[in-house]
Amino acid sequence: MQDLMKGKRGLIMGVANDHSIAWGIAKALQAQGAELAFTYQGEALGKRVKPLAQSLGADTVLSCDVEDLASVDSAFAALKAKWGGLDFLVHAIAFSDKNELKGRYADTTRENFSRTMLISCFSFTEIAKRAAELMPETGGSMITLTFGGSVRVMPNYNVMGVAKAALEASVRYLAADFGPRKIRINSISAGPVRTLAGSGIGDARAMFAFQQKHSPLGRGVTLEELGGSALYLLSDLSGGVTGEIHYVDSGYNVISMPRPEELKG
Ligand code: NAD
């Protein structure tokens, strides 16, 4: 199939570099004809994101730090001035103090709990509201990124697991809020990928290796595979789908216990 996204314009939030999940998604969308705009967090990352955006023909690259509401509003005002409308949105943003992505969840501080929830969960609600205002009467589609540590305990994932659980609940509530506007809201629950954010989790390598080894497919997932699933959720192919948590994790989430022979190896 070709040109699934032709004539559609979308905002990609969360590219840090060419290992970012948002970058894999951006490439898949652009390859199917989408016109893209990007945001970046801070000038240091902007230096990396601008050339990447240009390589996909995107000339709208906006600064946006979701901790600062004025920065969110100014990015959306700039997008409105430039495009006047928006068809889809990718939210691939998360942050927590890496000192609390190890050890016990019980030791999470009040300050980091609030900050993690604001950046990794509530930012999607604030952004979805602004993006919806730009979407046409014919509707639109938005996705965010989550992880299976939301529903089952993953060592060291801690407060981020709690934030992802709240993010997944937000997806369902936002799907109900915006359904009457024909705007669909879904999320991809990705298997572990080696990214900047992923490397902040304690013992990340061991967790990645365990999940890959014990998933039905016996391997990790690629940025191309995540891009393909995002393309499905953001295109008309998934027209009847909203409020979903779509797992792209080599099937790891369905496993209760590895086969005994795997445990011996
Ligand atoms: P990444 O480091 O490439 O991307 C994280 C992005 O979040 C960065 O672009 C960063 O600038 C942005 N960000 C953080 N704080 C921000 C703020 N205050 N304002 C604006 N942007 C901010 O890592 P990634 O793994 O591609 O992460 C993207 C999403 O995928 C995250 O939500 C992450 O939790 C999720 N995810 C990652 C994995 C994995 O294994 N890497 C698995 C499942 C889900």
Strand partners, 71: none
68 lines ligand 1 (CB under 6 A): no
192 lines ligand 1 (CB under 6 A): yes
- Asked if 216 and 251 touch (Cβ cutoff 8 Å), the reply is yes
Kindly give the distance from the C-alpha atom of residue 21 to the centroid of ligand 1, in angstroms, as a whole number: 8
User: Any binding-site annotation on 248?
Assistant: no
| Atom 13 (ligand 1) nearest CA | 93
What does the pLDDT look like over 61-113, one tens digit per residue?
999 999 999 999 999 999 999 999 999 999 999 999 999 999 999 999 999 99
User: Any binding-site annotation on 193?
Assistant: yes
User: Any binding-site annotation on 184?
Assistant: no
CB atoms within 10 A of CB 9: 20
Ligand 1 atom with the smallest distance to the CA of 119 is 18
What does the pLDDT look like over 112-140, one tens digit per residue?
999 999 999 999 999 999 999 999 999 99
- Asked if 93 and 123 touch (Cβ cutoff 8 Å), the reply is yes
Q: Would residue 1 count as lying in a domain?
A: no
Please tell me the predicted confidence (pLDDT) of residue 55.
Answer: 98
Instruction: Give yes or no: 247 in active site.
Output: no
| Atom 22 (ligand 1) nearest CA | 93
Ligand 1 atom with the smallest distance to the CA of 192 is 40
Instruction: Give yes or no: 157 in active site.
Output: yes
Q: Would residue 21 count as lying in a domain?
A: yes
- Asked if 9 and 86 touch (Cβ cutoff 8 Å), the reply is yes
Q: In the predicted model, is pLDDT for residue 162 greater than 90?
A: yes
Ligand 1 atom with the smallest distance to the CA of 146 is 44
User: Which phi and psi (to 5°) does residue 46 adopt?
Assistant: -55, -35
Amino acid at 9: R
Kindly give the distance from the C-alpha atom of residue 134 to the centroid of ligand 1, in angstroms, as a whole number: 24
Identify the CA nearest to 85 among candidates 130, 33, 19, 144. 130
User: Any binding-site annotation on 93?
Assistant: yes
User: Any binding-site annotation on 195?
Assistant: yes
Q: Would residue 2 count as lying in a domain?
A: no
Grade residue 194 by pLDDT with cuts at 50, 70 and 90.
very high
Q: In the predicted model, is pLDDT for residue 144 greater than 70?
A: yes
Q: Would residue 17 count as lying in a domain?
A: yes
- Asked if 238 and 38 touch (Cβ cutoff 8 Å), the reply is no
Q: Would residue 4 count as lying in a domain?
A: no
Q: Would residue 3 count as lying in a domain?
A: no
Q: Would residue 89 count as lying in a domain?
A: yes
Whole-angstrom distance, CA of residue 244 vs CA of residue 23: 22
- Asked if 169 and 144 touch (Cβ cutoff 8 Å), the reply is no
Q: What is the mean pLDDT of the chain?
A: 97
Which residue among 67, 95, 203, 210 is best mutated to probe the pocket of ligand 1, counting the most ligand atoms within 8 A of its Cβ? 95
Structural domain total, the chain: 1
Q: What is the ipTM of this complex?
A: 0.99
Kindly give the distance from the C-alpha atom of residue 265 to the centroid of ligand 1, in angstroms, as a whole number: 33
CATH number of the domain that residue 211 is part of: 3.40.50.720
- How far, CA to CA in Å, does 182 sit from each of 174, 231, 242? 12, 18, 10
218-232 core/surface letters (b: 16 or more CB in 10 A; e: else): eebbebebbbebbbb
21 lines ligand 1 (CB under 6 A): yes
Q: What's the predicted TM-score (pTM) here?
A: 0.98
Dihedral over Cα of 67, 10, 21, 62: its sign: negative
Q: In the predicted model, is pLDDT for residue 265 greater than 70?
A: no
Q: Would residue 85 count as lying in a domain?
A: yes
Which tops the pLDDT comparison, 265 or 164? Answer: 164
Q: Could you tell me the residue range of the domain that residue 14 belongs to? A: 9-264
Ligand 1 atom with the smallest distance to the CA of 14 is 9
